[in-house]
Amino acid sequence: MTGISRRTFLRGTAATAALAAAAGSLSFGAWQAEQAHAAGDAVEEAPSLCNGCSSKCGLVATTVGGRLWTLRGSDVHPYAKGHICGRGHGLAQMAYSDERLTSPMRRTESGEFEPISWDDAFAEIGQKVKEIIAANGPESLAIIQDPRPSGKYYSKRFMNALGSPNVYAHSSSCNLSKESAYTYTIGASNYSTDFGNAKMVMFIGRSYGDGIRPSSVASLAAAAEAGTRIVSVDPRLNNSGIFSDDWVPINPGTDLAFLMAMCNVLIEEDLYDHEFVEQNTVGFEEFAAQAKECTPAWAETITDVPAERIEELARAMAAAAPAASIEAGWRAVIGCAYKNSFDTARAATAVNALLGCWGQKGGALLTSSPKAGKLDDARFDDPPKPEAKAIGAKEYPLALASAGTNVAALEAALDGRLKGMFFYNSNAAKGYAQPKAWTEALGKLDLVVTIDVQMSETALQSDYVLPECTYLERLELPEWIGGKKHFVGMRTRVLEPIHPETKACDEIFNGLAEACGVGEYFQFTAEELAAAQLKTVGVDIETIKKEGTVELADPKFAYGTPTFKTASGKFEFKTDAVGEAGLNPVIGYVERKVTPKVGEFYIVGGKQGIHSHTMTQNIAALNAISRQYNMERLWMSAKDAESLGIADGDTVELSSSEHTGTVAVRVTQRMKPGVLFLPTHYGGDSPYQTRAYQYGVALTDFIPFDAEPGVGSMMSQEVAVTVTKVEA
Amino acid sequence: MARYGMLINTKKCVGCYACRIACQMKNHLEPTEAFIRYEERETGEYPSVYSEIIPLQCQHCEDAPCAAVCPTHATYITDSGVVLVDENKCIGCKYCMAACPYGARIVREETGVVEKCRFCWEDGKPGDPPACVGTCISGARVFGDLDDPASEVSKAIAEYNAQPIAGDLTKSKIFYVR
Amino acid sequence: MIWGPMIAWYLFLAGASAGAFLTAAFVEAKYPDSNKMRIAGRIIAPVFVGIGLLMLMLDAEAGLMNPLRFFYLISNPGSVMTLGVYFICIYMPVALVVALLEILKKKVPKWLTWIGIVFAFAVAAYTGFLLGVVKTFPLWNNAILPILFVVSALSAGLAATSLVGLVTDREKFEHMWLVKKSHVILSAVELVILFTMLVIVHTGSSAGAATVDSLIAGQYALPFWAGIILLGLVAPFLIEGYPVFITKRVETSTTSLVLSVIGESGVLIGGFLLRLLVVLAALPLVFV
């Protein structure tokens, strides 16, 4: 921690400050800061990485007397660029929450939780793990984690050390379809948009203004101001709508038809980049044959987007190419929502291929990422690679291997293949697939261990709950950030532990490993490993403790056709591996699974800028905003509301095949008629989280337990719902 | 002497509430207390609809109705035009709250004192920049000296032709782009 | 809403206090032998305004916690609230001294009564101007509200005093034609003023229209029609007006006593509800 000028804040004792304030010589703000903290408290700054979402933006925290005061964005970090979003500010306050986990807990026979010591928790968990391995082999153990710098490393290392390959990210309820699809078409799980030089950018369902990364919002705002034509294809006019020139309301889950029709226009009207297609792609002929059927008129019947509009957009994109592209998307329609999400994602990259915008100025860019070099200390050597393949690798061969599909783990828990599960920073039982299925699965397991900072719904159904300290109280492994430039960032201990019986990620896994008999692979702290990793890129850990985020050697990004790290080394309109998984090897049209009948609605979910799934709802500052602005409400188009006699604020009963719940309605002109929007942060079931408990409804409750073929995404929006007004 | 003011560009505001929470932290407010509130407006009908979020806070009016009605002079205006509340004079009568056309004032739970945005005033000067401006992720907020034509805020107001939210009602010093 | 029932109580009690003081002065001048009515008015005056001020202080939480801050109240003569404090600073001691002299059975000097009369009017009017200068709320920000508050204050003070007269000295009370006539006329005048104000507020702005709609047909319709209009204005007008203007005879029956008590209480309830709804129902102008 580095001290900064205390002059602004400190003027002798509180008493003299109060006197001075009364005399008018000291400002009110300074006086108040003085009041809030005992005299003589040091004002200090320390860096960290936000834990509010997967962006993990660099930040600098200011503390007064060891207590958090303010946050600001790191000027160096490429995602923050000096700014922190509301969710980031709010999440930091979790440290002082009155509803944190403060000691290890064991669930008793009656279902209540009782505090136990760390030693007992480790010993009992270790014993059970050994029993499970002895009886069913290490393959009957699994871990699910929402990737965080230390967590993703330790989760994998712990499972592998035990001999289990079953390591899963949250991805099947996030961006698994997209990341998997892109890996087949462009050989990378993501790409970026060159906003600074773009003439036209099309968003498919994604909203930077709702799922926020500060620098992305700034780039979009700047592009919109500079005259870049921004198109938003979304059944809802989302919060990025202020930047959009075109809002294209579309039937949910039909984006694939829209994209295929775009391709149809580009090919049939000969607007595509012949040179790129001929030199850098495979499977174009087969693709063109499939796209030929997908005319704009055909797409209009499916998407409800007029054929002329599709034609105009395709022509405009072609005219702007190569400084025109489809933005990479993240979750929902392209990530995990529908039976066709994988192919929707592939089709988006196909449009970019036809535009010839890959790697071009103003187009879609593939950039590189840094990573740590080889470590020469034997303590850090990987444990032996488990012999078995991870559960799900066979059933869902298209899932990105590094993420896996946790739906497969859920299926294996239900059918008895899994006996023990660990959850790190993951509220799978509420936030992923159908909660009822999770409850059934967790009930069948011999051992469930959850590591979290709060009593999530998953923790609530675990045998052991291990309390982690919040991210501001712990140092973590370095986070590597790719792009046109390379960076490395790291969490440092900004706050001293607030609750003495909480531990950091590395301490918890080290303890677990020791108790499970694999402590030999965990003979180091996160700080020691961090120092070793950083050394390989020439960064001193003391530097990063001070700076938080450091720029690494320039990767020398250059525009031009990139190297596609696919099987063929080219952009793939056709991938045999996809065909072998039982899907259409060629990018083509696939229908969504569930289509609402007359009287039923489509329903789509989505983020709100202040929340991260179910993780942030119980934070007082964020929950207060939700409640003040009625953010839990179900959005309904004014037209639908009128025909159902529903007024703004009325309560309705929302029903699907799986669940019925009551929720208030927000009547709006911003929805496509026939479609409902439900923010996916509400409807908490954990009574330990009093602010989130039973506030609003959760979309996951309404979704049938199912999986996208070949990929294993949860199909988070494959459902039709009905709405009935609840008479007051 | 500087004359401080702000520009808020609703065409860049996505409603992330960062300004509200950064302000709460900076000013030690409770989670339910906020110096910034938001109005949401939809205009037009589907599919030709425009939606905007309008952050509102103390407008630091030159004709400040709050200061005019404050019976104790707890609310006062600094030489640089920033409207402040001296918490040692406020009795919590809430007359200022009634008089403020912008609904920008709140009663603090702890003290009963009425408070509001103070441009993060500290040590005789405003925040550099105020917390809401510093955290704004899209650059929707600009702060500075309105009397200095070369200041970023003056230039932005001129460029966008930004206007006070209620015309010349109170000669307010937050200018909006809508 | 910014202010609640506490402030409504204050506005009502301060007004009724002024009205009671004026009633007592009126009774003293016109019916010198009606001791009980006069005494009642003179005691009600400081008691009501005292309770009202207590309400005001309870509502001003920061001041309650730091009572010395109330001295700052005299700082800003430009504020109607400070003006009110000046008025009350004179009115309250005068009312107290008058009550004290009355209790000690000493004569109240004319000049003191006159000072009391002037500042009683000032206090009654200021409760209206306090709201009237607030431009945010169309229901408050009009020229009629202070007049309405003055009329209602006189009516309420009269009613409070009359209630005591009715119970303690009915015979003399029933003969005070001037008092009774004034009472009926005040009710009628107040009804007209209220109606005029609502028309003006309704036509002035959309916020004003919404406010008036909430009073006459929305969430406040029941207390407005049943409380203010029926109980507070129409019923007293009929109950008092019938004997005063139609039958023109002195009532002695128990039925008429009960009716009169209902009428006077109605004026008081209506007077309070008027302040309460004016405070609660006012919607602000919308600029965004």
The pLDDT tens digits of the residues spanning A368-401 come to: 999 999 999 999 999 999 999 999 999 999 999 9
Can you tell me the ipTM of this complex? 0.98
Give pTM, 2 decimals: 0.94
How far is residue B164's CA from residue B162's CA, in Å, rounded to a whole number?
7
Partner-chain residue, chosen from C62, C73, C136, that has the shortest CB–CB distance to B71 = C73
Q: pLDDT-derived band of residue C34, with 50, 70 and 90 as boundaries? A: confident
The arithmetic mean of pLDDT across residues A295-311, rounded, is 98
**pLDDT at C27 (0 to 100):** 93
Alpha-carbon gap: B69 to the closest alpha carbon of chain C (Å): 4
In A221-313, DSSP assigns E strands to 229-233, 246-248, 281-282
Contacts of C285 in chain B (CB under 8 A): 101
- Segment B69-92 shows an average pLDDT of 97
Please tell me the distance in Å from C246's CA to the nearest CA on chain B.
Answer: 46
**Confidence band for C178, pLDDT divided at 50, 70 and 90:** confident
Q: What is the pLDDT of residue A28?
A: 40
Closest-CA residue to C185 (of C153, C151, C157): C151
Of A28, A86, A621, the CB nearest to B121: A28
Position A40 scores a pLDDT of 66
As a whole number, mean pLDDT of residues B124-147 equals 97
Cα separation, B30 vs A95, whole angstroms = 15
Q: Is B111 at the interface with chain A, CB within 8 A? A: no
Residues of B in contact with A68 (CB under 8 A): 25
What domains lie within chain C, and their CATH numbers? 5-281 (1.20.1630.10)
pLDDT of residue A97: 96
Residues of A in contact with B47 (CB under 8 A): 247, 249, 672
| Residue in B41, B72, B171, B177 to test binding to C, most C beta-carbons within 10 Å | B72
| pLDDT at position C282 | 95
Mean pLDDT of the C96-119 span: 96
Residue A1 has pLDDT above 60, yes or no: no
User: pLDDT tens digit string along A202-223?
Assistant: 999 999 999 999 999 999 999 9
pLDDT of residue A34: 52
Taking residues A646-650, report their average pLDDT.
97
Taking residues B46-66, report their average pLDDT.
Answer: 97
- Predicted local distance difference test score (pLDDT) of residue A39: 52
CATH of range A105-174+371-537; options 3.40.50.1820, 1.10.150.120, 3.40.50.740, 3.40.50.10790: 3.40.50.740
Fold of A192-365+560-580: Dimethylsulfoxide Reductase; domain 2 (3.40.228)
Name chain B contacts of A673, Cβ cutoff 8 Å: 46
Q: Which of A485, A497, A478 is nearest to A543 (CA)?
A: A478
Question: Residue B47's domain is classified under what CATH number?
Answer: 3.30.70.20
How do residues C150-175 score in pLDDT, each as one tens digit? 999 999 999 999 999 888 888 888 88
pLDDT tens-digit map of A459-491: 999 999 999 999 999 999 999 999 999 999 999
CATH class, range A2-96: mainly beta
Residues 6+ apart with CB under 8 A from C29: none
Place of tokens 């509400």: A682
Question: Which numeric CATH code is attached to A601-725?
Answer: 2.40.40.20
Q: Is the pLDDT of residue A19 over 60?
A: no
Whether A525 has a pLDDT exceeding 70, the answer reads yes
What residue in B sits closest to A81 (Cα-Cα)? B137
Number of structural domains (chain B) is 1
Q: Do chains B and A touch (3 or more CB pairs under 8 A)?
A: yes
More reliable by pLDDT, A544 or C33: A544
Enter the tokens of residue A199: 């003439």
Angstrom distance (rounded) from CA B4 to CA B15: 24
Residue C234 has pLDDT above 50, yes or no: yes
For chain B, the chains sharing at least 3 beta-carbon pairs closer than 8 angstroms are A, C
pLDDT tens-place string over residues A269-287: 999 999 999 999 999 999 9
**Phi, psi torsion values for C149, nearest 5 degrees:** -65, -35
| Structural domain containing residue B138 | 4-177
The pLDDT of residue C254 is 87
- What would the two tokens of residue A214 be? 């500060």
Q: In which band, very low, low, confident or very high, does the pLDDT at A244 lie, cut at 50, 70 and 90?
A: very high
> Per DSSP, what are the bridge partners of residue A676?
A603, A636
Indicate if the pLDDT at residue A656 is higher than 80: yes
Residues of C with CB under 8 A from a CB of B: 2-3, 56, 59-66, 69-70, 72-76, 78-82, 85, 130-131, 133-137, 284-285, 287-288
The model's confidence at residue A84, banded by pLDDT at 50, 70 and 90, is very high
Q: Where are the domains of chain A?
A: 2-96, 105-174+371-537, 192-365+560-580, 601-725
Burial class (CB in 10 A: 0-12, 13-18, 19+), A125: buried
Portion of chain A with pLDDT greater than 90, in percent: 94
pLDDT digits (tens, 9 = 90+) for A673-723: 999 999 999 999 999 999 999 999 999 999 999 999 999 999 999 999 999
Residue A25 above 60 pLDDT?
no
Closest to B25 (Cβ–Cβ): which among A28, A69, A639? A69
Report the alpha-carbon distance of residue C268 to residue A299 in Å, rounded.
72
Q: Can you tell me the mean pLDDT for B60-67?
A: 97
Compute the nearest-CA separation of B49 from chain A (Å).
Answer: 7
Contact status of B105 with chain A (Cβ, < 8 Å): no
Q: When comparing pLDDT for A4 and A264, which is higher?
A: A264
pLDDT at A9: 36
Least confident window among A31-40, A500-509, C32-41: A31-40
* Cβ–Cβ under 8 Å, residues A424 and A505: yes
Predicted local distance difference test score (pLDDT) of residue C172? 83
Distance from CA of B121 to the nearest CA of A (A): 6
CB of C25 within 8 A of CB of C113?
yes
A8 and B42 within 8 Å at the Cβ level: the answer is: no
Look up residue A634 and give its two tokens. 């179900």
DSSP E strands, A134-267:
141-145, 167-169, 192-193, 200-204, 229-233, 246-248
Q: What is the pLDDT of residues A145-203, one digit of tens each?
A: 999 999 999 999 999 999 999 999 999 999 999 999 999 999 999 999 999 999 999 99
Going by beta carbons, is chain B in contact with chain C, meaning 3 or more pairs sit under 8 Å apart?
yes
Residue C84 above 70 pLDDT?
yes
- Portion 6-65 of B in contact with A at CB < 8 A: 10-22, 24-28, 31-32, 38, 40, 42, 44-47, 49-53
**Chain B residues with beta carbon closer than 8 angstroms to that of A93:** 25, 31
Cβ–Cβ gap A29/B134 under 8 Å = no
